[in-house]
Amino acid sequence: MSYNVRGMRDDYAALTAVIREARPHVVFVQESTLLFRWRARAADLARRSGLVYVCGGGHTGGNVILSSLAAKVHETREFLLPLQKGKHQRGAAIARLSVRERQFLAVGTHLSLWDEERETQARLLSEHIPAEVPMLLGGDLNEVPGGPVSRIFGARWRDVATVAEQGEAKTYSTSTTRTSGSTTYGWIRWSRCPTIR
């Protein structure tokens, strides 16, 4: 599950209820609070959602990974993308997890609103993730299907909606329901999983 929580400024009870109802093993959170006590806020979001905090937050541009107790955490790391003057810090939270003894990388990210910067970030993130690993990437990519980020990620990984044969996954907008990529997106690859570099 991937969820842009907008700094947790909206209906907190509704936010956690949505996550609890979905009963996910892994949640990629974007725009977690970056202000005072961000670790405590991320842990509280996890607890109220029936999950545990894994990694991320203030050192990853607001990207956080949460998981169920069924997921075992083997290692975590933070990945910051280059910061451009006057723009938001972007990055990724990365964890090596296993569910039912199957290991995979979980990568949560939130890319730029600016086209050129977003494409550069996608390339850097793609290059940072080992090529031959089981991997689940979720995030707010700020792009509709068919854009540069879709092509960059699509060269290495598969869209989870396609894998699940559900067509274009729907995502949330305050004005209309849009197809995947505009707000949240998921990419997947399965094979061997080494230690995170």
pTM of the model: 0.85
| Tens of pLDDT, residues 89-121 | 899 999 999 999 999 999 999 999 999 999 999
pLDDT value of residue 154 = 87
- Sorted by where each starts, the structural domains of the chain and their CATH numbers stand as 2-189 (3.60.10.10)
Helix 38-48 to helix 12-22 angle (10° resolution) is: 50
pLDDT value of residue 190 = 54
pLDDT value of residue 69 = 96
Phi, psi values for residue 159, rounded to 5°: -65, 130
Task: Summarize the confidence of residues 72-90 as an average pLDDT.
Answer: 91
